């Protein structure tokens, strides 16, 4: 019954590897997001999808590629991992704007450690 | 572009006391939303309170209330009767109103204030 879930919660990997983080929401929301929280706790948007369409793509290296197979899922694939990719990655979802509620609901986060 | 500033990196308050966390923002938008999120050591991001810019009345949620000053672009959070469970990082966040239904708007976060509630 978790609203926004992410797997895995922890991910430890070596430089150069490719990894994916999965996100699923069961809230019936149309929009999903990926945020990155760095070691200083600063949170910044990476991507956003609305009904499987990419609508926000901040300045993120091409090694990061989001994929949305349906509006309940938004996965994040990272190629050729680097030390600087170590962070906590949060998935979030929100209903479409114009509805009564619009706030974003966050998943539990995935702590990625690149060694 | 929008910016959000939280000038207090750390604060401490005794249990049962009241504390106010500061937040200022800069935007040229007229329609927007403001939020306070709480991040306890579990790292879960929890929405504490929200404010629509078009509403003059300050939002309240139980022990949490805001002082929204639109002209001054200030959005402070007051926590009354502080509890040990309030110990967390608190983030102020800005979101502009979507131009059309169905569009997403990103949250722009401040750098956070670490609040410690002590006995």
Local confidence pLDDT in tens for the 115 residues of chain A: 669 999 999 999 999 999 999 999 999 988 899 999 999 999 999 998 887 888 888 878 999 999 999 989 999 999 999 999 999 999 999 887 555 457 899 999 999 999 9
The percent of residues in chain B predicted with pLDDT above 70, rounded, is: 94
The predicted pLDDT at position A89 comes to 98
The predicted pLDDT at position B111 comes to 97
The predicted pLDDT at position B30 comes to 86
Q: Do A42 and B111 touch (CB under 8 A)?
A: yes
| Contact with chain B for residue A30, Cβ under 8 A | yes
Is residue B51 a contact partner of residue B36, using CB atoms and an 8 Å limit? no
Which residues of A, range 94-113, sit inside 8 Å of B by Cβ? 94, 96-98, 102-106, 108-109, 111
The predicted pLDDT at position A8 comes to 97
The predicted pLDDT at position B117 comes to 97
Q: What is the pLDDT of residues B33-78, one digit of tens each?
A: 999 999 999 999 999 999 999 898 999 999 999 999 999 999 999 9
Cα-Cα-Cα-Cα dihedral of A8, A13, A19, A25, to 10°?
20
> Nearest Cβ partner of B43 from A35, A48, A109?
A109
CA distance A62 to A74: 17
The predicted pLDDT at position B18 comes to 98
Distance from CA of A54 to the nearest CA of B (A): 10
Distance from CA of A80 to the nearest CA of B (A): 26
Q: Do B106 and A33 touch (CB under 8 A)?
A: yes
Which residues sit opposite A75 in a β-bridge?
A67
> Nearest Cβ partner of A30 from B35, B46, B102?
B102
Query: Residue B71: which residues within 8 A CB-CB, separation 6 or more?
Result: none
State the count of interchain CB pairs (< 8 A) between A and B: 71
Q: What is the pLDDT of residues B83-115, one digit of tens each?
A: 999 999 999 999 987 655 555 688 999 999 999
Q: Which residues of B touch A71 (CB under 8 A)?
A: none
The predicted pLDDT at position A108 comes to 96
Q: Do B111 and A41 touch (CB under 8 A)?
A: yes
The predicted pLDDT at position B2 comes to 85
> Nearest Cβ partner of B33 from A58, A102, A108?
A102
């Amino acid at each position: 019954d978790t609203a926004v879930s992410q797997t895995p919660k922890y991910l430890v990997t070596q430089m150069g590897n490719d990894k994916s983080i999965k996100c699923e929401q069961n809230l019936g929301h149309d929009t999903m997001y990926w945020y990155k929280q760095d070691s200083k706790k600063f949170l910044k948007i990476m991507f956003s999808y609305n009904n499987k369409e990419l609508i926000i793509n901040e300045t993120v290296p091409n090694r990061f590629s989001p994929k949305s197979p349906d509006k309940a899922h938004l996965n994040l694939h990272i190629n050729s991992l680097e030390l600087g990719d170590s962070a906590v990655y949060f998935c979030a979802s929100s209903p479409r704007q114009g509805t009564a509620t619009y706030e974003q609901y966050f998943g539990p986060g995935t702590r990625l450690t690149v060694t | 572009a929008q910016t959000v500033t939280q000038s207090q990196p750390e604060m401490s308050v005794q249990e049962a006391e009241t504390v106010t966390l500061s937040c200022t923002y800069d935007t040229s938008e007229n329609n927007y939303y403001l939020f306070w999120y709480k991040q306890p050591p579990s790292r879960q991001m929890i929405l504490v309170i929200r404010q629509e810019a078009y509403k003059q009345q300050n939002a309240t949620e139980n022990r949490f209330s805001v002082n929204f000053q639109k002209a001054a672009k200030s959005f402070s959070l007051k926590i009354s009767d502080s509890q040990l469970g309030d110990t967390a990082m608190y983030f102020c966040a800005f979101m502009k109103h979507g131009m059309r239904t169905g569009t997403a708007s990103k949250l722009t976060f401040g750098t956070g204030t670490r609040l410690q509630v002590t006995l």
